[in-house]
A and B are shown apart, each in its own frame.
Chain A
Amino acid sequence: MPGADKETDLSERIEAFLSDLKRGGSGTGPLRGSAETARETTALLRRVTAQARWSSAGDLMEIIRKEGRRMTAAQPSETTVGNMIRRVLKIIREEYARSRGSSEETDQQESLHKLLTSGGLSEENFRQHFAPLKANVIEAINELLTELEGTTDNIAMQALEHIHSNEVIMTIGRSRTVEAFLKDAARKRKFHVIVAECAPFCQGHEMATSLSKAGIETTVITDAAIFAVMSRVNKVIIGTQTVLANGGLRAVNGTHTLALAAKHHSTPLIVCAPMFKLSPQVKNIYIYLSLSLSLSLSLSVCVCEILSKVNVHCPVFDYVPPELITLFISNIGGHAPSYIYRLMSELYHPEDHEL
Chain B
Amino acid sequence: MLADGPEKTGDIERIKNEGKELTKEEKQRLRKEKKQQKKNKEKKDEKAPLESEKEKKPASSSPASQATAQPPTQKASSGVPAPAPVPVAASEAPSPVDKPAKSKAELKAERRARQEAERASKQSKKGEVGQQAAPSKAKAPPSELQPVVKRLPEHIQVDNPEVLKKLAKKLERQQIPLRSDYGYKVSLFSHLHQYSRKAPLTQQLSIPSSVIHPAIVQLGLQYSQGIVAGSNARSVALLHAFKQIIRDYTTPPNEELSRDLVNKLKPYISFLNQCRPLSASMGNAIKYIKKEISNIPSQCKEEEAKSKLQDCIDCYINEKIILAAKAIAKYAIEKISDGDVILVYGCSSLVNHILCEAFEKNRKFRVIVVDSRPRLEGREALRRLVQRGISCTYVLISAVSYILPEVSKVFLGAHALLANGYVMSRVGTSQIALVAKAFNVPVLVCCETYKFCERVQTDSFVSNELDDPDDLIVTRKGKTHLEHWQDVSSLGLLNLVYDVTPPDFVDLVITDLGMIPCTSVPVVLRVKNVDQ
A interface residues, Cβ below 8 angstroms from B: 192, 197-202, 205-206, 208-209, 212-213, 215-229, 231-232, 253-254, 256-257, 260-261, 264, 286, 297-300, 302-303, 306, 309-315, 318
A-B contact pairs, 8 of them (CB 8 A): A192-B187, A197-B373, A199-B373, A219-B492, A224-B373, A256-B435, A261-B431, A309-B391
B372/A224 in contact, CB under 8 A: yes
B491/A254 in contact, CB under 8 A: no
Q: Give the one of A224, A286, A303 with max B CB within 10 A.
A: A224
**Among candidates B402, B472, B488, residue contacting A212 with C-beta atoms closer than 8 Å:** B488
**Among candidates B376, B435, B482, B489, residue contacting A209 with C-beta atoms closer than 8 Å:** B482
If A205-B482, A254-B398, A306-B386 are given as contacts, then 18 extra A-B residue pairs at C-beta distance below 8 Å, sorted by A number, are A197-B373, A199-B373, A199-B397, A200-B396, A206-B481, A208-B482, A209-B485, A209-B491, A222-B372, A225-B494, A229-B188, A231-B461, A260-B401, A300-B376, A303-B379, A309-B386, A310-B392, A318-B401
A209/B488 in contact, CB under 8 A: yes
Closest 3 CB pairs of A and B: A224-B428, A254-B398, A212-B491
B476/A306 in contact, CB under 8 A: no
Tell me which residues from 150 to 209 in chain B have a Cβ below 8 Å from any Cβ of chain A. 186-188
A219/B494 in contact, CB under 8 A: yes
The minimal Cβ–Cβ distance linking B462 to chain A, given in whole angstroms, is: 11
Q: What residues of chain A lie closer than 8 Å to B241, measured between beta carbons?
A: none
A231/B382 in contact, CB under 8 A: no
A220/B499 in contact, CB under 8 A: no
Q: What residues of chain A lie closer than 8 Å to B186, measured between beta carbons?
A: 219
Q: Give the one of A209, A227, A314, A315 with max B CB within 10 A.
A: A227
**Among candidates A253, A302, A303, residue contacting B399 with C-beta atoms closer than 8 Å:** A253
B interface residues, Cβ below 8 angstroms from A: 186-188, 371-374, 376, 379, 382-383, 386-387, 391-403, 426-428, 430-431, 434-435, 438, 459-461, 472, 474, 476, 479, 481-482, 485, 488-496, 499-500
B434/A260 in contact, CB under 8 A: yes
Q: What residues of chain A lie closer than 8 Å to B472, measured between beta carbons?
A: 197, 205, 220, 222
In the complex, the chain A residue whose C-beta lies closest to that of B402 is: A315
Q: What residues of chain A lie closer than 8 Å to B428, measured between beta carbons?
A: 222-225
**Among candidates B386, B476, B500, residue contacting A201 with C-beta atoms closer than 8 Å:** B476
A298/B396 in contact, CB under 8 A: yes
Q: What residues of chain B lie closer than 8 Å to A213, measured between beta carbons?
A: 488
In the complex, the chain A residue whose C-beta lies closest to that of B184 is: A219
**Among candidates B400, B474, B494, residue contacting A257 with C-beta atoms closer than 8 Å:** B400
B493/A202 in contact, CB under 8 A: no
Given A209-B481, A310-B394, A228 contacting B430 (CB threshold 8 A): yes
Given A205-B474, A222-B472, A312-B394, A318 contacting B402 (CB threshold 8 A): yes
Given A216-B490, A222-B427, A232-B461, A313 contacting B482 (CB threshold 8 A): no
B481/A205 in contact, CB under 8 A: yes
In the complex, the chain B residue whose C-beta lies closest to that of A31 is: B477
Given A222-B372, A260-B435, A227 contacting B430 (CB threshold 8 A): yes
B396/A221 in contact, CB under 8 A: no
The minimal Cβ–Cβ distance linking A231 to chain B, given in whole angstroms, is: 5
A264/B382 in contact, CB under 8 A: no
The minimal Cβ–Cβ distance linking B433 to chain A, given in whole angstroms, is: 9
In the complex, the chain A residue whose C-beta lies closest to that of B501 is: A227
Q: What residues of chain A lie closer than 8 Å to B401, measured between beta carbons?
A: 256-257, 260, 318
Alpha-carbon distance A308/B371, docked complex (angstroms): 18
A227/B434 in contact, CB under 8 A: yes
Given A225-B496, A306-B386, A313-B403, A299 contacting B482 (CB threshold 8 A): no
A298/B394 in contact, CB under 8 A: yes
Alpha-carbon distance A303/B188, docked complex (angstroms): 37
Given A260-B435, A286-B402, A310 contacting B393 (CB threshold 8 A): yes
